[in-house]
Structure 1
Amino acid sequence: MALPLLAGGNTLLGNLASFQAHAADIEGYRALVCVFLFGGMDCHDTVLPFDTASYNQFVTARKTLMSTYDALPQGSSRAQNQLLALETASNPFGDRQFALPPQMNGLHSLFQQGKAAIVGNVGPLLEPTNRTTFNNRSTELPKRLFSHNDQQSTWLSFAPEGAQVGWGGRFGDAVSGANTEAVFSQISLFGSTVFLTGNSVGAYQIGTDGVPTIRVVEAAPAGVSDMLRDHFASVGSTRQSLFEQDFIDISRVSLDANDKLALATETPLDTPFPASSLGSQLRAVAETIGSRQAIGAKRQVYFVGLGGFDTHSNQAQALPGLQQTLSDAMTAFYNATEELGVADQVTTFTAADFGRTLTANGDGTDHGWGGHHFVVGGAVRGGNIYGDIPIAQLGHNQDAGNGRLIPTASVEQFAAPLGQWFGLNNQELATALPGLANFPNGALGYI
């Protein structure tokens, strides 16, 4: 994976020289891994009603889509007797029960083992909102709702497209003093992302096939690349031009970081991973976590991604395979953290543009708002559903129209337990999640 030698804005090379410690020294190792589901996964078709009354309501609300599932050659994976019931440690939903589709048997198993939790109806909010206040516009709403790019950015940074700093980056700012090699604190396997960028930390991009390279060095003829490396190592501070000096200094740091990570991640894992893009990304994350001591990392934030969730049509054909991919990859990754002996020190969570409508548009669904998400790790208070899962009907208090869920938990409430577990104190958490103060119920207690 080639990176440009010099890039502007909030990129790795634009931030290499600006890391600063903002938090007291933090002992031990902890890592957060964000699995972003691009396109907006249908939460209604992921955490499904399972008690007979609720299931029948769901089928009625989604009659055309459920008929499409029924017509599949292999039969419907959404038939009630095919679903994987969730046996929760406690049940705040009364007689209502829930299940996962059979394609998510790995995550179902982790849930039943107490290693995974579900957080219901999360999404961007500026203040608590319901159907009444949404319809009469008496609460302030996030900008550009239901837009893919803007809601991706809002989930990751609390602002629409064009935002410069994400909450994963703010977490990195707070604990940057814990890392000997700060360049390895924020690592993306899915290209550039605002999520990992802070005010003093920036994203280091790696590929599933290894560490990145610098194009001007990689593209040089045989022998010239070694000469460039030697040149960057021997000059820099002697240059009269500040541009040349910075160019060479940043390149030297980049080359040193790439070499160090390449050496540190040479030991393979025994845990098998699925041969999918997400599986490959999470394997690379696990291998990098395995090198944490060699690269001097005590706190890390990772970003990986899986696309294809914009299921306006053909949802019955597309979504089950995506769910299988997600579940298999996340399960393999958890198993790898067990192999590495860091299951209690790594927490993985899903995020997405938005959920989708309860109503079907025929054989698919439309853009929604709130959605349900998974959190996995040895430190998670698993086997429970946190937050809320509204009833599978139209017109309830959290329905913005067509079964588009108005979130009952903000992204800040979802993120706060992750930040606390990561090591942020109350002041640092308030800085990283400035909107948290607008929600009197505070953080969710899943970790």
Structure 2
Amino acid sequence: MTYIHRSLARRDFLRQAARLSAFAGTPFAMNLMAAGAASAQSGGDHKALVCIFLAGGNDHSNTVVPRSGAGYNSYQQARPSLALPAANLLAINPTGYSGNPLGLHPSLSAIQPLFNQQRIALMANVGTLAVPITKAQWNSGQPTVAVPQQLGSHSDQQGAWQTGLPDRASQTGWQGRMGDLLAGSYNAGSGISIAMSVAGNNIMQAGNNTIQYQLTTNGAVRVGALNSLYGSATGGAAMRRLMTEGRSDLLQSELNRISSRAIDSEALVSNALNGVTAGGTFPATGLGRQLQMVARMIAARGALGQRRQMFFVQQGGYDFHDNLLTDQNLRLQELGDAMAAFYQATAALGVANQVTTFTASDFGRALQHNGRGSDHGWGGHHFVMGGAVQGNRVYGQFPTVALNGPDDSGRGALIPTTSVDEYAATLARWFGVSVSNLPTVLPNIGRFASRDLGFMGALA
């Protein structure tokens, strides 16, 4: 009978350990016991960077729209079945912007006030680039300079955005490389990774030493069998020993190191989150719940011993080949409501100036309609939000909204005029990466004109 119990426990151990490896999230060298001492240092110089990834490729042309004049007329002519009525657009009047008057999609009513209050900025026509490229160099799809691999492929372009290396394969992402540089300086002794995801695995947060810590919207992932295995506390204790005791076999030893790390991390996170609120009310949506957990982890930063935190959340359903008007309305409503709630939560927690949120997506979409939707594009528009953001402005070059315009690669798919590298570099500089270390985070940054697009104000 003892043998049967031991066999069952071993199978449970192997199954649980396979799951735990994704949630361990702390480099081996981290010392969990030092977290308490480090927490005393976490109050002052704290910053958090939050990526909201819009999976599928958001249709930027209906997200930010010329609301009058020649720009609106060209927009309407390019997508007669998809164009939003001008009267429904939410007016924004960016400082220093002299182009066609702009409006936001009507579902973004929750963030329109934040834009007007200078808490949100618009990053225009940003996308993956191997090198700067003009329409002439694009050469009607026969480019005379290097371009990102597999343009239009969801998986490849998601990877290009998240690695910052669109011209070659990479096993690390630009935030993971940031973590490699900064975790030791800012989060020394913390038992939790500087990079945390509430949306599963992503390559953006993968580093050489940085291992993303994966949370659920309810908090840390717990191995229930450690307390009671088949109703037996003795069995639970045996399971814990099986998963954590030292082993002579290298594979078993490494597996138990991962399991031990995950168990310790869960205990630390659960204790830190105990009684911690998010600082506000969030919508009961997938994205709302993810950002609520992010807010709670920010509130728990002292107990976690973290002065720098990076978070990844994701909202799916942006592949609008069909039914764009209905589906995008729902997605942007969820996005806008969740972003507004998150900003208000950071304000309530007193950290609005220390938290910067930015959107990213596979790519933009073509201006030309296909009937009821739009097809894959390239460049697109994105939002940056936070108390430190120089908002109510348009950064980069807002494109001519017209088929066959100066940035049209075909069908109204925009050739990006700002690279992901420049977008990410500005965020990285604000977060604490020095100018000299930017090439470590973004190896291609030297190919582009700017390391600071200005939307984070004056950077040291």
Alignment TM-score, normalising by the size of structure 2: 0.87
Secondary structure of 1:437's aligned partner: helix
Q: Deviations over 1:362-415 (max 9, x none)?
A: 010000000100000001011101012211111122110000000000001000
**Aligned twin of 2:443:** 434
**Aligned twin of 2:126:** 122
User: Partner amino acid for 2:161?
Assistant: W
2:25 touches 2:193 (CA, 8 Å); kept in 1? no
Secondary structure of 2:109's aligned partner: helix
CA distance in 2, matches of 1:208, 1:240: 37
Secondary structure of 2:425's aligned partner: helix
CA distance in 1, matches of 2:311, 2:222: 19
Distance 1:276 1:219, change over 3 A: farther
**Aligned twin of 1:79:** 85
2:117 touches 2:391 (CA, 8 Å); kept in 1? yes
**Aligned twin of 1:54:** 71
User: Partner amino acid for 1:42?
Assistant: D
CA distance in 1, matches of 2:298, 2:25: 24
**Aligned twin of 1:166:** 173
Alignment TM-score, normalising by the size of structure 1: 0.90
Aligned length: 426
1:42 touches 1:356 (CA, 8 Å); kept in 2? yes
CA distance in 2, matches of 1:336, 1:258: 24
Give percent identity, aligned residues only.
38
CA distance in 1, matches of 2:261, 2:382: 38
CA distance in 2, matches of 1:185, 1:41: 28
Comparing 150-159 with 221-230, which one deviates more in the overlay?
221-230
Secondary structure of 1:245's aligned partner: helix
1:18-29 equivalence runs, <5 A: 28-29=45-46
**Aligned twin of 1:73:** none
**Aligned twin of 1:319:** 328
Secondary structure of 1:106's aligned partner: coil
CA distance in 2, matches of 1:14, 1:379: 29
- CA drift at 1:56: 1.4
2:279 touches 2:295 (CA, 8 Å); kept in 1? no
1:185 touches 1:299 (CA, 8 Å); kept in 2? yes
CA distance in 2, matches of 1:342, 1:157: 28
2:364 touches 2:380 (CA, 8 Å); kept in 1? yes
Q: 2:250 aligns with which of 242, 251, 261?
A: 242
CA distance in 2, matches of 1:387, 1:431: 24
Q: Deviations over 1:241-278 (max 9, x none)?
A: 23333222322221111011111112223511011000
- CA drift at 1:7: 5.1
Q: Deviations over 1:116-149 (max 9, x none)?
A: 1010000000111121101142110000000011
CA distance in 2, matches of 1:109, 1:4: 49
**Aligned twin of 2:80:** 63
- CA drift at 1:434: 0.9
User: Partner amino acid for 1:163?
Assistant: S
CA distance in 2, matches of 1:441, 1:213: 44
1:226-305 equivalence runs, <5 A: 226-230=237-241, 235-236=245-246, 239-266=247-274, 267-305=276-314
2:400 touches 2:406 (CA, 8 Å); kept in 1? no
**Aligned twin of 1:202:** 211
**Aligned twin of 2:146:** 140
Alignment of 1:350 with 2:359, yes or no, is yes
Q: 1:111 aligns with which of 99, 115, 122?
A: 115
Q: 1:45 aligns with which of 21, 44, 62?
A: 62
Comparing 283-292 with 55-64, which one deviates more in the overlay?
55-64
Distance 1:419 1:270, change over 3 A: closer
Distance 1:414 1:95, change over 3 A: closer
**Aligned twin of 2:452:** 443
Q: Which runs of no fewer than 5 residues in structure 1 stay unpaired? A: 67-77
CA distance in 1, matches of 2:123, 2:61: 13
2:163 touches 2:173 (CA, 8 Å); kept in 1? yes
1:85 touches 1:98 (CA, 8 Å); kept in 2? yes
